[in-house]
Amino acid sequence: MVLKEHDDPHGLAFTASSPESAEKFAQLTSSYMGFRPETGAVLKDLVQSDPDMPMAQCAKGYFAKLIGSANHSERAERISASLDTHVEKVGANAREKMHAAALSAWCTGALEKTTQIWEDILLDHPNDGMALRLAHFTHFYSGDGRQMRDSMARILPLWSEYHPDYGFLQGMYAFGLEESGEYEKAEKFGRMAVERNPRDAWSVHSVAHVLEMTERHQEGIEWVHGLENDWSTVNNFRFHLYWHKCLYHLERGEFDIVLQIYDAQIVSDIESDFYLDICNASSLLWRLEMFGVEIGDRWAKLVEVSTKHVHDTDLIFVSLHYLMALIAGGDKAAATKMIDNIRQWSRLDATQAKICADVGLALAEGLYHARNHDFEKAIRLMEPVRYAMDRIGGSKAQRDVFHMILLDATKASGDALRARGLFAERLGHKVHSSWTWKNYSGILEALGSDTLAKEAANNAAAALVQ
């Protein structure tokens, strides 16, 4: 098959057998940005119709890595192993060679290098949507909202607002702004993106994050519910939006609704083994239990999925959620194996390994001891890393469960003074949190501060209607 350079509809050059392949890759990028369920089928069709196209092979490797599990990472490594030779053989252009180098770096665990290659691509080719979205992903799992924000800020002025994917960029910028604490500006860009395309689930989600962080719980319910017919058409990412809806209901004390959504949506496709599903489910069940809700045997289904990921070494944020399920579900043998794996992982020379060493291992062991009522040991492990938790990646809203677990363990330890300090600190940015006020009230009462305890209890009741 003879390959030549062909431009896609937006002027991006691809080494391919036909102009149609370049156009199809543009469709793949749009589909990926939009979390469309047909994304895998678009890639499969592209690979079958143009198997020698370098970016088609590279995308196969990228998407395997995006799944975030050991067996798919091995598949990505096999693809990458032959890609360097292939791009030279077919005369790939400089941008495509950089993409091959990014996949190679990703497969070795050098996430910082990987992200930098994508950012370097964007300097010369700001219209490379694949590089842009992948850099957004890895910035997200570095836990640095400013990098997400600034990565988009560098590119957004260079795109035409008439580009069909322009709204996706607005939504990604909105999320970076939100994670940087710029809530008003984030909401503005997120709403503009959704107005442009109501099916843009990432942008709906960006606004949902703003409403969560600004504690507008009822407004958040209305926002997510009002757009459900649109965002529910996307792939499993839709369950993350249901998770956001659950967070709003949780703070309002509407536990029956949370459990209903959990059963009907959050775990409805858990067998597909998509990592975000387990993150949604594990963190939500643990939260429910901290709120005092009886969740029955719901951990069992999560344990079944999580046992397949004991030896993963891709993203510590994800691994911690598999571990949560194993610990809470009572599979101590698998949990112990996974903690041992994280310990070994922390000794490797890779980006996520360093995060394991500095933060992840302490959280893993802390979760185990908190669940097994060794609260003092859990505190000794988790408290020193609480200001470094952002390094594990994920969003502020997602990481909050680990802060809550630390606070819950501190209260359970009987160290009322330390607990009073931590819960008071949390009220500085969660002034409408019913869970925080309720626990704070109990701590004050234990310390004999009856008047303050009563005020806190009243605030807890008032927070339920936010």
Across-strand partners of 15? Answer: 5
> According to the model, what pLDDT value does residue 133 have?
98
pLDDT at 348: 96
**pLDDT tens-place values along the chain, 466 residues long:** 689 999 999 999 999 999 999 999 999 999 999 999 999 999 999 999 999 999 999 999 999 999 878 888 999 999 999 998 999 999 999 999 999 999 999 999 999 999 999 999 999 999 999 999 999 999 999 988 999 999 999 999 999 999 999 999 999 999 999 999 999 999 999 999 999 999 999 999 999 999 999 999 999 999 999 999 999 999 999 999 999 999 999 999 999 999 999 999 999 999 999 999 999 999 999 999 999 999 999 999 999 999 999 999 999 999 999 999 999 999 999 999 999 999 999 999 999 999 999 999 999 999 999 999 999 999 999 999 999 999 999 999 999 999 999 999 999 999 999 999 999 999 999 999 999 999 999 999 999 999 999 999 999 999 998 7
* pLDDT number for residue 68: 79
Taking CA atoms, 408 is separated from 232, 290, 449, in Å, by 34, 7, 20
pLDDT for res 4: 95
What is residue 71's predicted lDDT score, i.e. its pLDDT? 83
Torsion sign, CA atoms 194, 198, 204, 206? negative
Per-residue three-class SS string for 193-231? HHHHCCCCHHHHHHHHHHHHHCCCHHHHHHHHHHCHHHH
Instruction: Say how many C-beta atoms besides its own lie within 10 A of residue 296's C-beta.
Output: 9
pTM: 0.96
What DSSP letter does each residue of 140-190 carry, written as one string? HTTT-HHHHHHHHHHHGGGS-TTSTTHHHHHHHHHHHHHHTT-HHHHHHHH
pLDDT at 351 (0 to 100)? 94
- Who's near 34: CB < 8 A, 6+ residues apart? 168, 197, 199, 200, 201, 234
Chain centroid to Cα 210, Å, comes to 15
Query: What per-residue confidence (pLDDT) applies to 69?
Result: 80
Whether 153 and 180 have beta carbons less than 8 Å apart is answered as no
Reference 339, options 369, 302, 382, 304; nearest CA is: 369
Q: What is the pLDDT of residue 67?
A: 87
CA distance 333 to 326: 9
